Amino acid sequence: MKEVIHRNSVSRILSIGLAILLAFSTTLFGQEGDPDRGKQLFNSNCAACHKLDQRMTGPALAGITKERDREWLHAWIKNNVALRKSGDPDAIAIFEEFNGAAMNTFPQLSEQDIDDILAYTENPPAPAVAPQGEAAGQAVAVESSGISNEVVLVALILVFGMLVVMLVLVNKALKNIAQAKGVELPGEGEARLPLWKAFAKNQFLVLVSVIFLLLVSAYFVYGYLMQVGVDQGYEPVQPIHFSHRIHAGDNEIDCKYCHSSARVSKTSGIPSLNVCMNCHKNIMEVAPETATAEHSKAFYDGEIQKLYEAVGWDVQNQAYTGETKPVKWVKIHNLPDFVYFNHSQHVTVAGLECQKCHGPIEEMEVVSQYSPLTMGWCVECHRTTDVRMEGNEYYEKIHEELSKKYGVEKLTAAQMGALECGKCHY
């Protein structure tokens, strides 16, 4: 848990820094308690530990002005340590209630700033509806495009139907005319050989078509057999609905922040839950705008609760209970045992983007296997990809010699020997 504390303190230092910046950049408005400005200040200074409606590291702050004396609040926020030292019983009580978690001091906040924040806690501005509208608009747009496609289809069917009807009518009319004119229609009455019998009689044609059929079925059978064990597109349901779209896409968290062992190890590593808690200790719910048509905010919040349950985090008391339920993720990318693959070779040495093999992970709500992970796919890349050698002392000598041998400046992985069986199979 050392790391968690460490990260927390980093975020604290950052927030203090931000606060200092803000304090020096903002000018006083002279207005009594501006909730909008208070929201800004709250988010930059207080949100790391406080929420309006929920206990976090510190108490919930909605309606705090009703519970506490405003002057006391000012003193507490400015310098709670001094207040506690002065022996204020309330201050000591609150300190003890939260397990001695010391609150930062905010000497940089002016009286006005504090009033603004308190105004925000009294009556928070109504949540913006714009994003919801936007989302709704998007949904409508998607729907309307769906409708237009259907309309086109229906119209086309109608047109084709009309054409068929017209053809039948024309045919009927022509027959009638012929009858009326006494023209004898050809073929009628004469027993013509049915088509299939004629086909059966032509042995050459039969032979050719049998061969053709065999070839076609062989093609499909081969195709079918070759995809046995290839799980491209495998998209299992995971015990916790973890959205890479939100984390890697919207929040632009670096892949290797969570999958850190990809840098040094053969496995990319499924992050341990303490890595999740680095952020989720403070992020207990998603922003309303995160919700999509498919998954509501409540759904996402519920998934975060699953994390807390797994890691044994008591949200009320902001403490670990020690009761853990390790998450049994379903492994998506399964290489057979007889293949050795090393992430760090590709990530650190070659400097490949994760997306090269894993696809647009940052857009995936649920991760699926993007690449076929077949040997052909590996080999193809090794044949065509140049090895990144610049600035790597390891490659200096071999690059010099090999480029002379092959007469090229850049060397592909294959030329380095990456197609040899034993490089991956041992």
Partner 1 sequence: MASNRKYWKSVEELDENNSVVETLKQNEFVEEIPVDEFLGDKENLQNSSTSRRDFLKYVGFSTAAATLVACEGPVKKAIPYVVQPEQIRPGVANYYATTIADGFDFASVLVKTREGRPIKIEANGDASFMGSPNARVNASVLSLYDKMRVQGPKSGGEYISWDDLDQKVIAGLNAAKASGKQIVLLTQTYASPSTNKLIAEFAEKYGNVKHVQYDAISENAALEAFAAKYGKRALADYDFSKADLIVSFAADFLGDWHGGGFDTGYAAKRIPTNGKMSRHIQFEANMSLSGANADKRVPLKPTQQKVALAKLYGYLSGASVSGDLPEQADEAVKAAAAQLRKVGKNAVVITGIDDVDAQLLVLKINELLGSVVSDVKSPRLLRQGNTAAVTQLIQDMKAGRVGALITSGVNPLYTLHDAAGFAEGLNSVGLSVAFSMKEDETAIAAQYIAAAPHYLESWGDVEMKQGHYSLMQPAIRPLFDTRQLQDALLKWLGEDKTYYDYIKAYWEDDVLGGQSWNKALHDGVFVAATATVTNVETSSTSENEAEEITATTTDINAAVRRLASATGSDFELTLYPKTGMGDGQQANNPWLQEFPDPITRVSWDNYITVSRADADALGFSNRHVANGGLNGSYANITVNGVTIEKVPVLIQPGQARGSIGLSFGYGKKEGLKSEMQVGVNAYKLYENFNAVQAVTIEKAAGEHEFACVQLHNTLMGRGDIVKETTLEIFNTKDAAEWNIAPVVSLNHQEVEASNANLWNDFDTSIGHHFNLAIDLNACTGCGACVIACHAENNVPVVGKDEIRKSRDMHWLRIDRYYSSEDTFGEDNVMKDELPKGAKDTFLELEIAAENPQVAFQPVMCQHCNHAPCETVCPVAATSHGRQGQNHMAYNRCVGTRYCANNCPYKVRRFNWFLYNNNDEFDYHMNDDLGRMVLNPDVVVRSRGVMEKCSLCIQMTQKTILDAKREGRAVRKDEFQTACSAACGSGAMVFGDVNNEEDTVVALKQDDRMYHLLEHIGTKPNVFYQVKVRNTEEA
Give contact residues for partner 1 (rule: CB under 8 A). Answer: 1-3, 228-229, 231, 236, 261, 264-267, 269-275, 310-312, 324, 326-331, 334, 336-338, 340, 342, 344-345, 348-349, 391-398, 401-402, 405, 417, 420-423, 425-426
CB of 411 to partner 1, least distance (A): 11
Report whether 260 contacts 269 (CB < 8 A): yes
Report whether 60 contacts 51 (CB < 8 A): yes
Instruction: Give me the half-sphere count of Cα atoms (radius 13 Å) on the Cβ side of residue 86.
Output: 11
CB of 417 to partner 1, least distance (A): 5
Give burial (CB, 10 Å; 0-12/13-18/19+) of 303: middle
Give burial (CB, 10 Å; 0-12/13-18/19+) of 45: buried
CB of 343 to partner 1, least distance (A): 8
- DSSP character for 398? H
CB of 347 to partner 1, least distance (A): 10
Q: Cα separation of 417 and 32, whole Å?
A: 73
CB of 426 to partner 1, least distance (A): 5
Nearer to partner 1, 197 or 425 (CB): 425
Nearer to partner 1, 297 or 333 (CB): 333
- 39-to-78, 124, 378 alpha-carbon distances in Å: 18, 8, 52
CB of 114 to partner 1, least distance (A): 38
Please give the backbone phi and psi of residue 275, each rounded to the nearest 5 degrees, phi first. -70, -40
Nearer to partner 1, 271 or 302 (CB): 271
Amino acid at 304: I
CB of 414 to partner 1, least distance (A): 11
Nearer to partner 1, 1 or 130 (CB): 1
Please give the backbone phi and psi of residue 220, each rounded to the nearest 5 degrees, phi first. -70, -40
Nearer to partner 1, 254 or 396 (CB): 396
Nearer to partner 1, 61 or 310 (CB): 310
Nearer to partner 1, 78 or 241 (CB): 241
Report whether 383 contacts 419 (CB < 8 A): yes
Q: Please name every residue paired with 313 in a beta bridge, in sequence order, or none if there are none.
A: 320
